[in-house]
Structure 1
Amino acid sequence: MRKETTGEVETALFTPMEERGEKDSSIMGQEKEDEGKSKGQQHIQTPPTVDKEENCVEVHAGIKENGKQKVMEMEEDMKKEMELEAEVKVELCQSVADLQMGFIQGTDLFGYVGIEAVLDQMRRKTMKAGFEFNIMVVGQSGLGKSTLVNTLFKSKISRKSCTPHYEEEISKTVKLHAVSHMIEEKGVKMKLTVIDTPGFGDQINNENCWQPIVKYVNEQYEKYLREELNVNRKRRIPDSRVHCCIYFLPATGHRLRPIDVEFMKRLGKIVNIVPVIAKSDTLTVEERQEFKDRIRQDLASNGIHVYPQKEYDEDPEERILNDKIRESIPFAVVGTDKEHQVNGNKVLGRKTKWGIIEVENVAHCEFANLRDLLIRSHLQDLKDVTHNILYETYRVRRLNESNINFNELELSAWPLENGTDKCESDSHL
């Protein structure tokens, strides 16, 4: 009896241990499953087996089989998830590749947007509305100012060439004449205004002969400023400001004259000045180069700023181009409006006993460089410098002066607001 009871006790003692082993194994299996779900791609390790005992071999074998089945199921689920993710990635890559093949061309990274179409829009608007360009020519009589302007634009637009057989005595006092023409080329319209200054430097006493020119330039700035300050201003303000002033130097071969220095000192602060050597065909190549070197030295020693100014260079590429232009200033030019036959081709030139001086040939003169500067490469820059720098300087100065005058008026009217002064003023009235 005692043996049976001891056997029953032993079995009773073993059964809780087996149940505990099953519970522990199930708990360990759940923990491993949670870790496998959280880690994603990590493989789930099989739960550790309980130490084998002779009386519980079958129970542990069943537990092992159940654990293996669970592990196999988890591995199959993970494989399916990985396959689904791989398929999704492949589909996304294919869709992105299709988009790139459809929109991206060449080395572009984000495809064509169409921003460059803005240039076409601006071009169409400019062609419809046109634009203004105002140029002033200053120099003594007989230096070929009108002829050079006609050569620049290849048409008779100067003051003396507006009508055939135009003969008028040029006055010997500085009077400004402005003539406007509408020029159209390949659908682009430009309103060109040429301001001539007959009589400049022709008198014996040329003191203050630049004052009418300075007054005219400031009047155009004032006119534009008043239009801007109007309450109901125009949608497009007419631009009569001087964008460029071509200053003609006589081909003396010496240095700048005092009138040249004084004029360019005063005008260089309010307008873009481009100096040229008129009728440079009267100088030899060596004389012309020496004369240009002396003029550049005089400009630097007197602090005269001519266009293009170094302080206005914004881009390194523009600086390189402008440095080349500054090295060739002043331009040695020759002007004419007559055509001649040279090797079967019609060219603009001056006929002499020893040959024809071709105006547009760089080996003969620098007229082509001047035309490229004024029209083909820097025309818009001349207008931008005039508006953003020269006119802006004038506008700030005028507004400061008006504010000072307004404050002075307020201070002078302030005592009248006191009681005694106001009564006295009323009694006087």
Structure 2
Amino acid sequence: MSMTGTGGISVKREDSEIGNGISENSRNEQSSVDGNTKAESSSVVNGHFEDESGGAGGVKEGVIGVNEQSGQVLPEQPDLKIIRRQISGFVGFANLPKQWHRKSIRRGFNFNLLCVSQKGLGKSTLINTLFNRDIEASSEVGFSDRNDEVNGKMDGLKIEDSQDEEIETDREDDVSSSVKIKSYTTTIEENGVNLKLCVVDTPGFGDAIDNTGSWKPIADEVNYRFDQYLDAENKINRSLENDNRIHACLYFIEPTAHYLKPLDVEFCKQVHEKCNLIPIIAKSDILTEDEITVFKQRIRKQLDEANVKFFQPPTYAMDDPDTVKASNDLFEKIPYAVVGSNSSVTNKEGKTFRGRSYPWGIIDVDNAKHCDFVYLRDLLISQYLEELRERTNNVLYENYRSQKLIKLGIKQDNSVFKEFDPESKQREEKQLHEAKLAKLEAEMKTVFHQKVSEKEKKLQKSEAELFARHKEMKEKLTKQLKALEEKKHQLEISISNQPAQSPAQTKKKGFLR
């Protein structure tokens, strides 16, 4: 076969050498496709070996030299055609975030917020300021059906208690009945994102003279919502789209600038393991900056002493130092000193913003220098809303679910997650059998020693009784022997002291005397 090089040299090549050239040519083509380079690429078209670079390559020159030395004639080979294929490196799984984004936008999000405070601390105003709308006016109002359900189950039950117990029960019922659970549900939209918001209000909390146990209806409501979600999970046809679990709890602290009240500490202790607790100082505009700083320190100290944990923004390994610092700053500012306002004010420069106007100046609620409202909004909505939902589902709800199932007597068998190995299984069974035999042997030894000990005690007791009887009989015999010896001795003495007497003459009786 005639092979034409760059210099027009006609040579005869062996079959194996042509195969080597073709394989080398194929490798060059593959490297050209993968690396997107044209250097060192060659092709065999219509039986001609052509170098695209215009010069003879090192491999060609080596093959030509070998053929010249051998002088072998190669048979005519069929024409070879190499098909070039362009392989795309894009698979498509990089679109997963876009798919998830489309699905999330279509499905929407839900957020359940629990607000707890005494009357007159600006709870409604702050919620309206957070979401920039009147939540109560645009919501569906509903009351919790937990109390009605409990009352329905208790119909027909009569419990006879003492008079003191009845008085105590009535007092607790009065406190619990004064606290109501009221929810406002609405759907708000921002830039095409729908959020189903449910604000749970607790009117009547802390308004009684004796507030002992006023936190119980709120804690029971949180547990009741967990139970509803657990029941939905256990159904055959599960529908978990309606998530009514509490994702965050805003607890409004009265701005006394002194210390937390016992009710505040007790409530935080009871609910911090059930929901993401975020304490805030309400109406902080009545306090000075120094009073707010001291009050925050006292609140954190009291809650730390009570082992109360509130929500901490999470940090991840891939976060940059600025993000970690911002997250830590948000956590260190808790409890947030906030101010709410639904009205707009205008300053001397003509700038309009949400705030409050006072004789001494104007407060801008969206200014971080005036209050902590911006930090609360970042923690609750802007940056960590999804983290609040995830912690509720993965930590708080799972803890409650585990405790609930354990109370019901349901325990998980961890052996089902182990890999089955017959040899190790046989070894474990052998060890268990040996341990069982050793335990049985130890029990038998214990029983044997116990019975031997009991028998020895009985024998010792019998021996002691026999020894006592022998001693008693010996003493009696000794006394009798002494008595007999004394009698013998007295008899001998009496015999020796009696004088000898002559035989007495008998007097005959009769008529011949």
Does the alignment reach a TM-score above 0.5?
yes
Secondary structure at 1:274's aligned position in 2? strand
**Who is 2:509 aligned against?**
none
Q: Distance in 1 between matches of 2:34 and 2:343?
A: 66
Which residue number corresponds to residue 219 of structure 1?
A: 224
Question: Which residue in 2 is equivalent to 1:278?
Answer: 282
Partner AA of 2:133 in structure 1: S
The structural deviation recorded for 1:197 is 0.9
2:198 is the alignment partner of 1:193:
yes
| Alignment partner, residue 371 of structure 2 | 365
What is the alpha-carbon distance in structure 2 between the residues aligned to residue 116 and residue 76 of structure 1?
50
Letter in 2 for 1:281: D
- SS of residue in 2 equivalent to 1:202: coil
Distance 1:119 1:85 in 2: 43
Q: Where in structure 2 are the equivalents of 1:119-198 lying within 5 Å?
A: 119-158=97-136, 173-198=178-203
Structure 2, unpaired ranges of 5+: 1-10, 39-87, 141-175, 412-513
- Written as runs of structure 1 = structure 2, the 5 A alignment for 1:180-259 is 180-234=185-239, 236-259=240-263
Q: Residues 120-143 of structure 1: CA distance to partner in whole angstroms, max 9, x if unpaired? A: 222222222212110011111111
Task: Give me the TM-score of the superposition, normalised by structure 1.
Answer: 0.67
Q: Deviations over 1:367-415 (max 9, x none)?
A: 011001111111011111111111111111222222369xxxxxxxxxx
Going from structure 1 to structure 2, the CA distance change for 1:114 and 1:80 (only over 3 Å counts) comes to closer
The one-letter code matched in structure 2 to 1:302 is: A
- Paired position in structure 2 for 1:374: 380
Aligned partners of 2:139 and 2:186 also within 8 Å? no
Contact preservation (8 Å) 1:172, 1:202:
no
Name the structure 2 match of 1:351: 357
For residues 92 and 195 of structure 1, the distance between their equivalents in structure 2, rounded to whole angstroms, comes to 66
Q: Counterpart in 2 of 1:388?
A: 394
Counterpart residue number, 2:439: none
> Which one of the candidate residues 399, 404, 414 is aligned to 2:405?
399
Which has the larger displacement, 273-282 or 294-303? 294-303
Over the residues paired in the alignment, what is the CA RMSD in angstroms? 2.9
Aligned to 2:55: none
Matched AA of 2:311: Y
Structure 1 position 76, deviation (Å)? 8.8
More helix by share: 1
Distance change (3 Å), C-alpha of 1:119 and 1:251:
same
Structure 1 pair 229–89 and aligned structure 2 pair: CA distance change class (3 A): closer
Tell me, in whole angstroms, the C-alpha distance in 2 between the residues paired with 1:135 and 1:178: 9
SS at match of 2:178: coil
Match of 2:95 in 1: 117
> 2:340 maps to what in 1?
335
The CA distance in 2 between the partners of 1:117 and 1:95, in whole Å, is 26
Partner of 1:19: none
Amino acid at match of 2:134: K
Question: Structure 2-normalised TM-score?
Answer: 0.56
Aligned-partner SS, 2:237 = coil
After superposition, the C-alpha distances for 1:167-215 in whole angstroms (9 at most, x for unaligned) are xxxx992111101011111221111011111121122211111001001
1:305 equivalent among 292, 306, 309: 309
Q: Could you report, residue by residue, the CA deviation over 1:25-61 in whole angstroms, capped at 9, with x for unpaired residues?
A: xxxxxxxxxxxxxxxxxxxxxxxxxxxxxxxxxxxxx
- The whole-number CA distance in structure 1 between the counterparts of 2:371 and 2:271 is 26
Aligned equivalents of 2:211 and 2:410: distance in 1?
A: 35
Structure 2 distance, partners of 1:264, 1:80, is 85
Alpha-carbon distance, 1:74 to partner: 12
How many aligned positions are there? 313
